[in-house]
Amino acid sequence: MIITLTANPSLDRTATLDAPLARGQVQRVSGVTVEPGGKGVNVARAIHYAGHPVTAVLPAPDSDPILAALRQLGVAYRTVEVAEGVRMNLTLTEPDGTTTKLNEPGPLLTDALVEQLAALVVEQATGAEWVVLSGSLPPGVPHDFYATLVRRLRPLGVKVAVDTSDEPLQALVDNFPDAAPDLLKPNSDELAQLTGADAEQLEAAAKAGDPSAAVSASRSLVDRGVRAVMGTLGASGAVLVTSEGAWHASPPPIVPRSTVGAGDSSVAGYVLADCGGEAAPDRLRTAVAYGSAAASKAGSALPKPEDLNTAEVVVTELG
């Protein structure tokens, strides 16, 4: 069983544009989809499609359309009941695959609701293989929420993955090694932010086939207690660093349609491969196959096992 927490779930509304976005103009959209989203919800969806037991934990009113959508997909969930509906995040996709996201802050959670949410995750985590803590935190939730939760989860013996950004990510790192998770999934900006590396240089080097800056940044986090750091590098694939070694995986060729959910899919792939007993290089291979399959799908659509092109992911062991 895998548990995902989405403290700030969303309904993802994707508008497809037939022409490049023209700022300040009225433009017609050619299609709209609405899907249940938020990073942990996406991870849960991809895991569910793979046939692995999963429960998504999230705050939402009982009548919220996100819950109806999850029921329709057959994704199991547990909620903390809140009064205000989940936020609506807007994605604009342009013909060349450029994706623009406008994310709302989300509804305020009171201290009592924050504690109910943490207690629900701890309850569900008992006996689970992994808990995945993903996404931003809505107003009212302290920045160190994930740090506190990792500390509460560790005694249960469950593995913990964290994928977040900005202050919650910084607060987590500030609380290492006590709050160090089993998997941290920063993107290149986050890796640079956390380690003082230059984001542009790190990305440019990875694009040119040299992921060493991403590896050193990831290694500095492993040195501070994280079991595995998977740094995602967009079209340049991802690196995985553990205390045993470092690997880079380049993705299979795809036509990118929407990057929304690519990072979440890579987390799902990593955790699924770990549950299947795969070694580090194959966990990275599966993660990158999942991430690139998601990027080749429209809107917030997530990959199913038949969408994966694992054979064309090239994994290289690095020194």
Ligand X SMILES: O=P(O)(O)OC[C@@]1(O)O[C@H](CO)[C@@H](O)[C@@H]1O
Interface stretch with ligand X, choices 15-23, 33-41, 169-177, 291-299 (CB under 6 A): 33-41
Size of the site for ligand X (CB under 6 A): 18
Among 10, 193, 195, 242, binds ligand X (CB under 6 A): 10
Interface stretch with ligand X, choices 15-23, 114-122, 193-201, 259-267 (CB under 6 A): 259-267
Interface stretch with ligand X, choices 43-51, 177-185, 196-204, 258-266 (CB under 6 A): 258-266
What is the strand order of the sheet 10-16 is part of? 31-37, 10-16, 87-93, 99-102
CA distance 22 to 258: 19
Interface stretch with ligand X, choices 55-63, 182-190, 260-268, 309-317 (CB under 6 A): 260-268
- Contact between 260 and ligand X by CB under 6 A: the answer reads yes
Task: Tell which residue, 103, 113, 39, 33, has the closest CA to residue 69.
Answer: 33
Helix spans in the chain (H): 39-49, 65-73, 111-125, 145-153, 166-174, 188-195, 199-207, 212-222, 262-275, 280-295
- Output the DSSP codes for 151-203: HHHGGGT-EEEEE--HHHHHHHHHTTTTT--SEE--BHHHHHHHHT--HHHHH
Tokens representing residue 7 in the block: 């403290």
Contact string (CB under 6 A) for ligand X, positions 86-115, x = contact = ---x-----------x-x------------
Tokens representing residue 216 in the block: 């050193």
Residue placing its CB nearer to ligand X in the complex, 39 or 248:
39
Do residues 141 and 108 touch, judged by C-beta distance below 8 A? no
- Contact between 42 and ligand X by CB under 6 A: the answer reads yes
Task: Tell which residue, 62, 59, 110, has the closest CA to residue 87.
Answer: 59
- Contact between 300 and ligand X by CB under 6 A: the answer reads yes
- Contact between 136 and ligand X by CB under 6 A: the answer reads yes
- Contact between 37 and ligand X by CB under 6 A: the answer reads yes
CB of 44 to ligand X, least distance (A): 11
Q: Which residues bind ligand X (CB under 6 A)?
A: 8, 10, 12, 37-39, 42, 89, 101, 103, 135-136, 165, 260-261, 263-264, 300
